[in-house]
Chains A and B, each alone.
Chain A
Amino acid sequence: MNNVPTAVPLDQKHFAERWNARPDSTEKAYGLQQYPTDELHWPGLLHGRILRSAWPHAHILHIDLSQARSLPGVRAVVCAEDIPGTNSYGIIFRDQPVFCTDRVRFLGDAIAAVAADSPEIAAHALTLIKVVYEPLPNIGDSQQALASAAPRLHPDGNLLDSSRLGHGDIDAGFAQCSYIVDRRYSTPRQMHVFMETEGGVAIPEQDGSLTFRVGCQSGHRDRDQLADILGLPQHKVRVIGLSTGGGFGGKDELTMQPAAGLLALKTGRPVRIHYDRQESTRAGIKRHPIQMFARTGCDAEGRLIAHQLHAVLDTGAYASLGPAVLTNFSDHAAAPLYRIPHVEVQGQLVYTNNSVAGAFRGFGGNQATFAVESQLDKLALAAGLSPAELRRRNLRTPDDDGVEGQSQQMPCHPNTLLNAAIASPLWQINPADAEHGRWLSGVGMALGAQGNGLGNGLPDSGGASLRLTKQGHIQLAFGFIEYGQGVVAAVQALACEALGCSAEDLDIRLGDSDGPDSGPTSASRSTVIATEALRRLRDDWQQQLIQLGKSLLGDHRALCTGAGGLWYDEPKGKRAISYQALASGVKDLSLPALKIHFDFPTGPDAQPKGRYLQLLIATVARVRVDRFTGSVKVSHLHHIAAGGKVIHPPSYRGQIEGAAVMGMGMALLEDVPMHNGEYQLDNLDAYLIPTLADAPAQQVDVIETIVAGDQYPVRGIGELGIEAISPALMAAIQDATGIRPCDLPARPAALLAAMTAAEENLP
């Protein structure tokens, strides 16, 4: 098969057959959808609150719960000594205490929790908990953390991890360059701002077990940790990851579950905890703020010779997924889309007394891409080439190995995206805009890549179960959790195709730790796992159903699965037996029930590096900059995405558009500034995310065809849209104003100052 990949608009016209509303549309549009924090109906429900540290860094000398415990309406107050099991959690290292004992390391650290009859009593009880602290010197940033005299935040010091990757000889490389550019870059401490904050209910069951109905991203992994914390065997803990209002990585770690579980065990009653936005800001996970220094060089013909990037990541008080973010950041920092003979990336992951940084859509990759793409534009300028031409001369091909010699599966040649980006109608600026009125128009572009799966040879597996129920439903279960990304729509579409049934035949179960473990709902891996699971199950499934059908019908004519039941091969159009009849016809035989579990595809390498399955995106951005105020308005975005086959077009498009605006927020608006471990804001009045007034018009084109031999035509596109947006916006700002911001968010104040200085020809 030799398809020339073409970019097709992702709209109803071009994808008419696959275009339908996601299965949960009606519930959500009509306000019928129940969320984890809507579960207020449980009999005997208690309201829980968590007490957070009053200091960014301190010893705890004494905790007195007695006054809080004797407040009428308070049913339990718990702290570290009430924890039956391990007092710690964390996906990679369990270094974060459930409740602090002798030391607090950031303002979000939990000290104790209360359960009370009403939210007001719970809030009041918190004020009655007496904690005596001995403040310690704060570590407010990475530099302070690495200083020799800095207090050690953890036993092994403040450097949690470091990375080093590349190839060649970087100094020799630079010696050969005709042009070299270097620059500092920084990206902010962004906050997820899922509209539904962390929350849910812990329900004690009659048999001594505990059920959690919560917003989370990995029910099985959470179940394992909760069992350890609460001193229960795993089979006595059940986590039901309900359809929740946003994740983006911020619900990857445990949040309120340990406190709620402990309170539920203590009181014997269901306990609800719902962080308000201030608590979510204080205690929730953030994106790693990163300081970078990059140096990149090319020869006289614009061929890249050497690229060096050093970075420091502020991981905050505890490890969370910091080491994994560092790894992914480093992979992207090595400019993997380009052939560069000499590359050196060094990263440091540093503890501070700031907010814990962890998983956030893009996972370090988009911050690195911002620096890399910005470097290339700067170099192009120095070398007298257009940004597109510099890229064209240096793009790697799908056959090339990765930066560390690893195998990678690109969906297509990056040239295809480059060409599509160059051909974007956004470059045709309206002559009226080009006049020097108040607003300056500019257009810019950038390329990005995103991988699927946890990568780097880490254990990464998933599974599913598939059975015919007594009522004749096809029950398909995954451990994934729906948090808006559309996994429920993708699974439905994939199942209909693989199993040959219709949507009405399906009973899709997601997010139950009593069901199959599909691994975490993160790293853009769900669609890949779902596709692969169904691929492996389909033949067995069809065989079992057909055999059952034949024996019930008592005839040997060929059958196939279809909508509503089994159909005859000949004559076409005649249904042989419905799924209901199949199910009820089974007497002594057991109903078909299958399970599968397998490893995430990581390619042929014995030691995989980075992520094997790759996706590509090009983003073209048009902006208008206000000459008087430095304000930036993003008017248009045009994305060309190569992410394999489109499973559910509205979800694919929605994920690219949503990720792009999230990236736009990081680029222009969002930051949680901290000073000496203290937050400078706590809510959405000062932490500004884009509103409808800021939203650009967006166009998404897709390339579905994949290179010959690629066995994974379906990829996960959840993070792809955030990859190239930041550098594309900065390139557009540069086109409009001549100024290239290198510190995100690029604030109007800094832009105006730079524009004014340039006008006045100041050095």
Chain B
Amino acid sequence: MSTENTTPNMQLNFTLNGQLLNMRVGPARRLLDILRLDQGLTGPKEGCSIGRCGACTIQLDGAAVPACLLLAYQVQGKEVITVEGLRSKPAFQRVADSLIEHGALQCGYCIPGIATSLTAALTQRPNASEGELEQAMHGNLCRCTGYSGLQQVIKDLATPAPNN
């Protein structure tokens, strides 16, 4: 197989926010760039480019993952959901409304990532405890709030531990 002198590209098929997409794309293109630059979905944000801040969090087959670390080929045949695709879903709305109620946002830049992570955690584990939800959120940085609002949201959405 000769790979010299050809710009690499692949036939990528994946589901994005419920829609089946087919595209020719460089296999190592970042998913974040496919979403923001190619598809015009600016919900996921770029905060660090190295997967340390969580601002680019999307759902990949239901799991919250940083899009800046995903390479195009890694989403072949999978389902990607961004905050744009979550908006209409009750599970997300429950999270978003809780964020509003507890004043858990200020500049809001971290929020698409936070809301996406929290929704994924609750969808995968509807009876998640406070501790489990907290652990799911360690990778989502916020600089404005000091996390107080988010602490209240987690208390609000978690399932209390059963009494001994």
B 71-103 binary contact with A (CB < 8 Å = 1; else 0): 000000000000110110000000011011101
**Is the C-beta of B148 less than 8 angstroms from some C-beta in chain A?**
yes
Interchain nearest-CB distance for B9 vs A (Å)? 14
Q: Write the nearest CB–CB distance from A192 to chain B, whole angstroms.
A: 8
A669 to chain B, nearest CB (A): 12
Question: Apart from A484-B109, A690-B147, what are 11 other A-B pairs with CB-CB below 8 Å?
Answer: A31-B115, A33-B108, A194-B143, A195-B141, A276-B49, A484-B106, A657-B148, A662-B143, A691-B138, A695-B148, A698-B146
**Chain A residues packing against B (C-beta within 8 Å):** 21-22, 24-35, 37-38, 40-41, 119, 192-197, 243-246, 248, 274, 276-278, 483-486, 650-651, 653-655, 657-662, 683-685, 689-693, 695, 697-698
With both beta carbons as reference points, the residue of chain A lying nearest to B105 in the complex is identified as: A28
Which of A29, A246, A483 is within 8 Å of B111, CB to CB? A29
Contact (Cβ within 8 A) A31 B146: no
Determine chain A's interface SS by DSSP, over half rule: loop
Note all chain B residues with C-beta closer than 8 A to A31.
Answer: 43, 83-84, 86-87, 111-112, 115
Contact call A698/B148, Cβ cutoff below 8 A: yes
The one of A21, A40, A486, A685 in contact with B40, judged by C-beta atoms closer than 8 angstroms, is A40
Nearest CB in chain A: distance from B144 CB, A: 4
Cα of A217 to Cα of B33 in the assembled complex, Å: 28
A685 and B48 alpha carbons, distance in the complex (Å): 9
Bitwise interface map of B from 33 to 57 toward A, beta carbon under 8 Å scored 1, else 0: 1001100101101111110110100
Tell whether, in the assembled complex, residue B50 and residue A685 are in contact, meaning their CB atoms are under 8 Å apart: yes
**Cross-chain contact of A661 among B45, B84, B137, B147 (Cβ < 8 A):** B147
- B140 contacts partner chain A, Cβ-Cβ < 8 Å: yes
Q: Are B100 and A26 in contact (CB under 8 A)?
A: yes
Residues of B within 8 Å of A661, CB to CB, are 145-147
Known: A26-B100, A40-B36. A683 touches B148 (CB 8 A): no
How far, in whole Å, are A194 and B91 apart by their CA atoms in the complex?
Answer: 29
Q: Which of A33, A34, A246, A653 contacts B103 (CB 8 A)?
A: A653
Chain B interface residue count: which class? 35 or more
| Most chain A beta-carbon contacts within 10 A, residue among B87, B148, B151 | B148
Chain A nearest CB, measured from B113 CB (Å):
9
* Pair B48/A277 contact, Cβ less than 8 Å: yes
Q: How far is the CB of B110 from chain A (nearest CB, A)?
A: 5
Q: How far is the CA of A610 from the CA of B96 in the complex (A)?
A: 43
Residues of A within 8 A of B46 (CB): 37, 274, 276
Q: What are the residues of chain B within 8 A of A25 when measuring CB–CB?
A: 100, 105
- Report the Cα distance A56→B150, complex, angstroms: 41
Which single residue of chain A is at the shortest CB-CB distance from B51?
A685
Complex: A692 Cα to B84 Cα, angstroms: 25
Closest 7 CB pairs of A and B: A484-B107, A245-B109, A28-B108, A661-B146, A31-B83, A650-B103, A695-B147
Q: How far is the CB of B96 from chain A (nearest CB, A)?
A: 4
Residues of B within 8 A of A245 (CB): 45, 107-110
Q: Are A684 and B37 in contact (CB under 8 A)?
A: no
A244 and B115: CB pair below 8 A?
Answer: no
Distance A30 CA – B43 CA, assembled complex (angstroms): 9
Min Cβ gap B17→A in Å is 12
On whether the beta carbons of A692 and B53 are closer than 8 Å, the reply is no
A196 and B45 contact, Cβ closer than 8 Å, known pairs A684-B52, A691-B141: yes
Interface membership of B132, Cβ < 8 A: no
Among B37, B43, B109, B115, point to the contact of A195 (Cβ < 8 A).
Answer: B109
Task: Take A25-B100, A195-B45, A684-B50 as given contacts and tell me if A695 and B107 are in contact as well, using a CB distance cutoff of 8 Å.
Answer: no
A651 to B105 alpha-carbon distance, docked (Å): 9
Q: Does B142 contact A (CB under 8 A)?
A: yes
A29 in complex: contacting residue of B55, B97, B134, B145, CB < 8 Å: B97
Contact indicator B110/A195 (Cβ below 8 Å): yes
Contacts A194-B107, A484-B108 given; does A21 touch B141 at CB 8 Å: no
Neighbour of A483 across the interface among B100, B107, B110, CB < 8 A: B107
Do A30 and B103 contact each other (CB < 8 Å), given the known contacts A274-B46, A660-B146, A683-B48? no
Residues of B within 8 A of A28 (CB): 105, 108, 111
Residue pair B47, A196 in contact (C-beta under 8 Å): yes
Within 8 A of A (CB), among B137-164: 137-151
A661 to B147, CA, bound (A): 9
- Determine the distance from Cα of A196 to Cα of B36 in the docked complex, in whole angstroms: 15
Most buried by A among B33, B97, B144: B144
Chain B residues near A691 (CB, 8 Å)? 138-139, 141, 147
Determine the residue in chain A with the shortest Cβ distance to B87. Answer: A30
Name the contact of B143 in the complex, choosing from A29, A37, A486, A689 (C-beta under 8 A): A689
B142 proximity list for chain A (CB < 8 A): 195, 692
Residues B37 and A40 in contact, CB atoms below 8 Å apart: yes
Closest to A699 in B: B148
B105 lies within 8 A of A657 (CB) = no
| Cβ–Cβ contact A658 & B144, under 8 A | yes
A–B Cβ pairs within 8 angstroms, 16 of them: A21-B100, A28-B108, A30-B83, A38-B36, A41-B40, A193-B141, A194-B107, A246-B143, A246-B144, A484-B109, A660-B146, A662-B143, A683-B48, A684-B53, A692-B138, A697-B151
Chain A residues within an 8 Å CB radius of B143: 192-195, 246, 248, 658, 662, 689
Q: Tell which of A21, A26, A244 touches B107, judged by Cβ atoms closer than 8 Å.
A: A244
With beta carbons under 8 angstroms apart, the residue of A277, A485, A685, A693 that contacts B47 is: A277
Residues of chain A lying within 8 A (CB to CB) of residue B109: 35, 194-196, 245-246, 484
Nearest CB of B to A697, in Å: 7
How many Å lie between the Cα of A655 and that of B107 in the bound state?
Answer: 11
Closest to B147 in A: A695
Q: Residues of B contacting A196 with CB < 8 Å?
A: 45, 47, 107, 109
Are B137 and A692 touching (Cβ within 8 A)? yes
Chain A residues whose C-beta falls within 8 Å of the C-beta of B55 in the assembled complex: 195
How many angstroms between the C-alpha atoms of A625 and B112 in the bound complex? Answer: 34
- Shortest CB-to-CB span from A71 to chain B, Å, is 15
Minimum C-beta distance from B38 to chain A (A): 10
